C-alpha cells in the first residue's frame, strides 16, 4: 500500500452571510452563553447546504460539509467543481489561511500553496529583493533561496531586469517571476489554484511542464484546482469532484472530469410563459431560448442547430445588441458573435425574436453551453446570463472509426485527391 | 527530501494536524524561529522602501522631533511654564519625544497589523506573530536615528556643563526592550479585537493621544502632587521614561523598584497579548 500524504476527515466550514455588523455582538454573547453552560454552539446547526441560487432561511451557510478523502503520496489530484462548490474553501483550509469549523486535516510533510502568486511583492523593490522576500513569506529560509536563486531567475527569464524595481516590469514578467519563486519551493505537497491562467502560451506550457515534473519526477503530491478540464486530464492521475460543498466523487481524473461534464446543463430548451417568471433584470427579460436540431430529432454532428431567442426589452431608443458566446464545457470558446438588433437608437420597448442557424458538420461531438450578453452601443452590458441552455452533440460514426475525433469543430471538408 | 520521506514512512506519523479548536496555549514558538529570515527580510523591506522617491530621505526622521521639541519648548516650557526638574528644556522634551515616538508608532502599527496585512494573510500562511515583531523591529530604525540626535544634544549640554549623565545610561537597551514589549503586548491585544470590532481602531487613535498625557513626557513626575503621582506611577511607561531621563539628564525621582514593577506588568501584558493574538490569528480571515 502506498503512503497517505494527506487525510481529510469530516471537514466542514461554515460562513456567515451578509454584513458582519449589527448582530455580531449579540450572536457572540449567545454563543459564549451556550458555551459556558456546556451546550453546543447554537449557530452551528442552522447552516444549510451551499446552493447559492436558492434563498436560504438562515444567515449561516456551509461552504464545505462533511468532506472525507485521502490522498496518496506522489498523486497529482485535480479538484474540480463549479463555482461555489467549495474548491477555494478547501484550498484555504489546506493552506491554513483559515481554520475549519469542524473536522480535521492530517498532513505528512510541508504544504506549499500557490493560491495567488506574487503575494507580498513590493513594487518599489527590485526583482532580486522580491525573490528573497516572497520566498521567505512562502516559507523558505534565506539559504534555500540563495541556493535556488539562479534557477528561479532562469525559469522566470528576467535576468536582465533582476536589479530593477518590479513596478517597472511588464505584467507578464511580474507573474513569471512570482510563479518561478513559488514553483521552486521545497515542499512535499504543492497546492496550485489556476495560476496557469496567466502568462503567455509559452510560459503556461512551461508551468504545466514544471508541475508535471513535480508530481511525476520528484514524487511530490500535487493538488490542482482548475476549470480547465483539458489540463486536469493531462496533469492529474486522480480527481475529486465537489458539489455544493460536498464530496461528490473521488476516483481517477478521467472519471471525475466526465462526471463533472455530465453534471453540466444539457437542457437545450428554456421557455416561460410570462414576463413575471422570466429570468433577467430591469432591462431584459428572457422568455425563450433553445437550441434544436435543424434536421431530425437529435443534435448530432450533421443535424445542424437552430438557435432561437425571445426576449423582452425594456429600454427604448438605444442601440441594442445581443451576443451569443458558445463554449465547450471545458471552457474553450467556440465563437462569440453578436446580433445588432438596432443601430439607429431606435430599439422598441417590447418583444424581440432572434434566431440563427449553426450549419451541419461544423461542431464536433461534445458538450456545449451558451453565454448570453445583451449590450448597449456594443459597449455596456445590460444583462448577461451564463449557461441558460446547454446541449450535447452526439457522435456519428463515419466510416469504421467509432471514436470521437479530437477538436472542437469537425468540418466536412472536400478533399481533392489527384 | 527522500530521507525525510523515509522517516515519515517508518514512523507513519502526521507532521501536522489542522483542527478547528486549538487550546489557548498551543503557541508554536519554534515555528516563529524557523521563519526568522522572514522577519529580517520584512525589516529590510521597510528600510529599503521607506524613503524611495523622497528627496530628503532619512533627514525626515530628524524633522519630526526637532519641530516637536521646538513647539513643546515654546508651549509647555515657556507659555505654560511646566517644570523640567532643572534640566535644559530642549534635552528634556527631546528625550520624551524620542521615546514616545517609538512607543506610539509601534503600538499604532502593531494594532493595525491584521487590517493592513489582510491581503497577504488571506493568501499565504506563515506564523502571524512575525508581523508585529517586524513592526517593532522596523521602528527601531527610526528610533535609532532620533536617538542619535538626542545623544548629540546630550553631548552638547554635557560639554557646556549643564548635564551630568550617569551609569544608568547603560540601562538604555533594556529600556528599549521594555518599551518594545509594552507596545507589542498592548498592540497585539488591540489588533486581535479590531479584527471583529472596528470600534477599537477609533478608541485607539485618540486613546494613544490621551495616554501621552498620562505618561511623564511633557512634565516630570516630581511636578505631580502625591495622589496624582501614585496614579501616574501605575503606568509602566513612567519608570522607563524616568529611568531614561535619570541616566542621561540626571534629573527626576527614580528607583529600581519602579523598573521592576514595569518589567513585571509588561511581561504579563506581553504573555496575554501573545496568547490572544495567537488565538485570533487562526480564524480572523473570516471576520475581517
Q: pLDDT tens-digit profile of A34-73? A: 777 776 666 665 555 555 555 555 667 788 888 899 998 8
How many Å apart are CA B82 and CA A79, to the nearest integer? 70
Cβ(A382)–Cβ(A335) under 8 Å? no
Q: Identify the CATH number of the domain in which residue A347 sits.
A: 2.70.50.60
Report the gap between the CA of A107 and the closest CA in chain B (Å): 5
Decide if B181 is inside a domain: yes
Question: pLDDT tens for residues B75-131?
Answer: 988 888 888 888 888 999 999 999 999 999 999 999 988 888 888 888 888 888 999
CB contact under 8 Å between B20 and A99, yes or no, is yes
Q: How far is CA A351 from CA A282, A288, A347, in A?
A: 14, 11, 10
Portion of chain B with pLDDT greater than 70, in percent: 91
Instruction: Tell me which chain A residues have a C-beta less than 8 angstroms from the C-beta of B57.
Output: none
State the pLDDT at residue B6.
45
Do A236 and A287 sit in the same domain of this protein? no
Q: What's residue A56's pLDDT?
A: 53
CA distance B37 to chain A (A): 6
**Closest Cα partner for A409 from A311, A332, A307, A313?**
A332
Q: Inter-chain contact A98–B283, Cβ cutoff 8 Å?
A: yes
Average pLDDT, stretch A109-120?
Answer: 75
Closest chain A C-alpha to B284 CA, distance in angstroms: 7
Asked if residues A267 and A236 have their Cβ atoms less than 8 Å apart, the reply is no
Of the two residues B284 and A125, the one the predictor is more confident about is A125
Domain boundary among A262, A297, A317: A262
Of the candidate ranges A24-33, A268-277, B46-55, B127-136, the one whose mean pLDDT is the lowest: A24-33
Is residue A63 in a domain?
Answer: no
> No. of H helices and E strands in chain B?
13, 1
Give the ipTM. Answer: 0.81
Of the candidates A16, A98, A104, the beta carbon closest to that of B17 is on A104
Residues A368, A237 within the same domain: no
- Give me the pLDDT at residue B5, please: 47
Q: Is A184 on the interface with B (CB under 8 A)?
A: no
pLDDT tens for A312-326 read: 999 889 999 999 999
Q: What is the pLDDT of residue A197?
A: 54
Measured CA angle at B37 (ends B16, A88), to 5 deg: 45
Task: Please give the residue of chain B at the shortest CA–CA distance from A14.
Answer: B286
CA-CA distance, B57 to B47, in Å (whole number)? 11
Q: Which of A195-204, A277-286, A304-313 has the lowest mean pLDDT?
A: A195-204
Is residue A20 assigned to a domain? no
Those residues whose C-beta lies under 8 Å from the C-beta of residue A215, and which sit 6 or more positions away, are A74, A75, A76, A221, A222, A235
* Predicted local confidence at residue A199, as pLDDT: 60
A98 found inside a domain: yes
Shortest CA gap B268–chain A (Å): 25
Residues A182 and A275 grouped into a single domain: no
- Cβ-Cβ contacts under 8 Å, A133 against chain B: 41-42, 44-45
- Count up the domains in chain B and report the number: 1
Whether B170 is in a domain gets the answer yes
Residue listed under C-alpha cell 530628524: B62
Per-residue pLDDT at B3: 45
In a domain, A88, yes or no: yes
Is A143 domain-assigned? yes
Q: Residue B157's closest CA among B241, B94, B95, B90? A: B90
**pLDDT at residue A115 tops 80:** no
- pLDDT number for residue B97: 93
pLDDT digits (tens, 9 = 90+) for A144-203: 899 999 999 998 888 889 999 888 888 888 888 888 888 888 778 888 876 555 566 777
Which residues are A401's β-sheet partners? Answer: A398
Residue scoring higher pLDDT (A233 or A8):
A8
* Mean per-residue pLDDT over chain A, rounded: 82
pLDDT band at residue B47, thresholds of 50, 70 and 90? confident
Show Cβ contacts of residue B187 under 8 Å, excluding neighbours closer than 6 positions: B106, B107, B108, B109, B110, B111, B113, B132, B135, B273
Mutate to test the interface with B, among A109, A127, A219 (most CBs of B within 10 A): A109
Instruction: Grade residue B10 by pLDDT with cuts at 50, 70 and 90.
Output: very low
Which residues form the domain of A159?
A: 72-262
- A129 lies within 8 A of chain B by CB: yes
Instruction: Say how many domains are in chain A.
Output: 2
Tell me: do A276 and A230 sit in the same domain: no
Report yes or no: A94 at the B interface, CB cutoff 8 Å: yes
Let me know whether A308 and A164 are in one domain.
no
Instruction: Return mean pLDDT, chain B.
Output: 85
Which segments within A84-183 are labelled E, that is strand?
Answer: 102-107, 111-114
User: Are residues A133 and A181 both part of a single domain?
Assistant: yes
Q: What pLDDT score was predicted for residue A237? A: 86
Judge whether B95 lies within some domain. yes
Chain B positions in Cβ-Cβ contact with residue A25 (cut-off 8 Å) = 197
**For residue A285, pLDDT beyond 80:** yes
pLDDT higher than 90, residue A30: no
Amino acid at each position: 500500500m502506498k503512503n497517505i500524504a494527506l487525510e481529510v476527515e469530516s471537514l466542514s466550514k461554515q460562513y456567515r452571510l451578509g454584513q458582519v455588523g449589527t448582530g455580531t455582538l449579540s450572536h457572540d454573547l449567545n454563543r459564549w452563553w451556550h458555551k459556558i453552560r456546556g451546550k453546543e454552539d447554537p449557530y452551528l446547526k442552522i447552516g444549510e447546504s451551499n446552493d447559492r441560487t436558492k434563498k436560504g432561511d438562515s444567515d449561516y451557510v456551509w461552504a464545505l460539509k462533511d468532506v472525507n478523502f485521502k490522498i496518496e503520496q506522489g498523486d497529482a489530484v485535480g479538484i474540480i467543481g463549479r463555482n461555489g462548490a467549495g474548491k477555494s474553501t478547501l484550498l484555504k483550509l489546506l493552506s491554513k489561511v483559515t481554520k475549519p469549523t469542524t473536522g480535521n486535516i492530517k498532513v505528512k510533510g510541508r504544504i506549499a500553496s500557490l493560491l495567488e502568486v506574487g503575494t507580498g511583492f513590493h513594487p518599489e523593490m527590485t526583482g532580486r529583493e522580491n525573490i528573497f522576500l516572497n520566498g521567505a513569506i512562502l516559507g523558505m529560509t534565506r539559504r534555500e533561496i540563495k541556493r535556488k536563486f539562479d534557477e528561479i531567475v532562469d525559469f522566470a527569464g528576467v535576468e536582465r531586469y533582476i536589479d530593477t524595481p518590479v513596478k517597472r516590469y511588464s505584467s507578464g514578467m511580474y507573474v513569471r517571476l512570482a510563479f518561478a519563486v513559488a514553483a521552486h519551493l521545497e515542499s512535499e505537497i504543492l497546492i496550485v489554484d489556476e495560476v496557469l491562467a496567466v502568462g503567455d502560451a509559452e510560459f503556461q506550457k512551461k508551468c504545466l511542464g514544471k508541475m508535471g515534473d513535480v508530481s511525476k519526477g520528484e514524487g511530490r503530491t500535487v493538488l490542482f484546482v482548475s476549470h480547465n478540464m483539458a489540463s486536469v486530464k493531462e496533469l492529474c492521475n486522480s480527481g475529486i469532484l465537489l458539489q455544493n460543498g460536498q464530496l461528490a466523487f473521488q476516483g481517477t481524473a478521467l472519471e471525475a472530469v466526465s462526471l463533472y461534464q455530465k453534471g453540466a446543463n444539457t437542457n437545450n430548451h428554456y421557455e416561460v410563459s410570462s414576463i413575471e417568471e422570466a429570468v433577467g433584470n430591469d432591462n431584459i427579460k428572457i422568455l425563450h431560448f433553445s437550441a434544436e436540431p435543424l434536421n431530425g430529432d437529435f443534435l448530432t454532428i450533421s443535424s445542424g442547430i437552430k438557435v432561437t431567442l425571445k426576449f423582452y426589452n425594456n429600454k427604448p431608443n438605444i442601440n441594442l445588441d445581443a451576443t451569443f458566446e458558445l463554449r465547450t464545457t471545458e471552457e474553450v470558446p467556440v465563437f462569440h458573435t453578436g446580433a445588432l438588433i438596432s443601430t439607429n437608437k431606435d430599439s422598441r420597448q417590447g418583444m424581440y425574436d432572434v434566431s440563427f442557424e449553426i450549419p451541419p458538420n461544423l461542431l464536433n461531438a461534445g458538450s456545449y453551453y451558451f453565454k448570453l450578453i445583451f449590450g448597449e452601443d456594443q459597449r455596456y452590458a445590460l444583462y448577461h446570463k451564463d449557461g441558460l441552455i446547454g446541449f450535447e452533440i452526439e457522435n456519428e460514426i463515419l466510416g469504421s472509426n467509432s471514436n470521437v475525433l479530437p477538436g472542437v469543430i469537425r468540418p466536412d471538408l472536400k478533399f481533392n485527391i489527384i | 527530501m527522500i530521507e525525510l520521506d523515509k522517516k515519515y514512512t517508518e514512523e507513519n506519523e502526521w507532521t501536522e494536524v489542522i483542527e478547528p479548536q486549538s487550546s489557548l496555549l498551543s503557541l508554536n514558538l519554534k515555528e516563529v524561529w524557523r521563519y526568522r529570515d522572514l522577519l529580517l527580510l520584512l525589516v529590510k523591506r521597510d528600510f529599503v522602501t521607506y524613503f524611495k522617491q523622497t528627496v530628503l530621505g532619512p533627514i525626515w526622521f530628524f524633522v519630526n522631533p526637532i519641530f516637536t521639541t521646538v513647539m513643546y519648548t515654546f508651549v509647555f516650557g515657556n507659555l505654560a511654564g511646566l517644570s523640567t526638574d532643572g534640566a535644559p528644556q530642549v534635552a528634556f522634551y527631546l528625550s520624551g519625544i524620542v521615546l514616545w515616538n517609538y512607543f506610539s508608532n509601534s503600538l499604532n502599527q502593531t494594532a493595525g497589523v491584521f487590517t493592513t496585512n489582510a491581503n497577504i494573510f488571506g493568501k499565504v500562511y506563515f506564523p502571524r506573530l512575525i508581523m508585529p515583531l517586524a513592526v517593532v523591529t522596523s521602528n527601531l530604525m527610526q528610533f535609532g536615528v532620533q536617538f542619535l540626535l538626542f545623544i548629540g544634544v546630550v553631548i552638547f549640554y554635557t560639554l557646556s556643563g549643564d548635564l551630568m549623565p550617569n551609569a544608568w545610561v547603560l540601562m538604555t537597551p533594556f529600556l528599549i526592550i521594555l518599551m518594545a514589549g509594552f507596545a507589542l503586548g498592548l498592540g497585539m491585544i488591540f489588533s486581535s479585537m479590531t479584527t471583529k470590532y472596528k470600534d477599537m481602531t477609533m478608541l485607539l487613535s485618540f486613546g494613544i493621544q490621551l495616554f501621552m498625557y498620562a505618561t511623564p513626557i511633557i512634565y516630570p513626575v516630581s511636578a505631580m502632587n502625591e495622589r496624582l503621582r501614585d496614579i501616574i506611577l501605575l503606568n509602566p511607561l513612567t519608570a522607563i521614561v524616568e529611568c531614561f531621563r535619570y541616566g542621561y539628564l540626571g534629573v527626576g525621582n527614580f528607583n529600581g523598584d519602579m523598573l521592576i514593577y514595569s518589567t513585571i506588568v509588561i511581561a504579563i501584558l506581553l504573555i496575554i497579548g501573545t496568547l490572544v493574538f495567537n488565538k485570533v490569528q487562526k480564524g480572523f480571515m473570516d471576520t475581517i
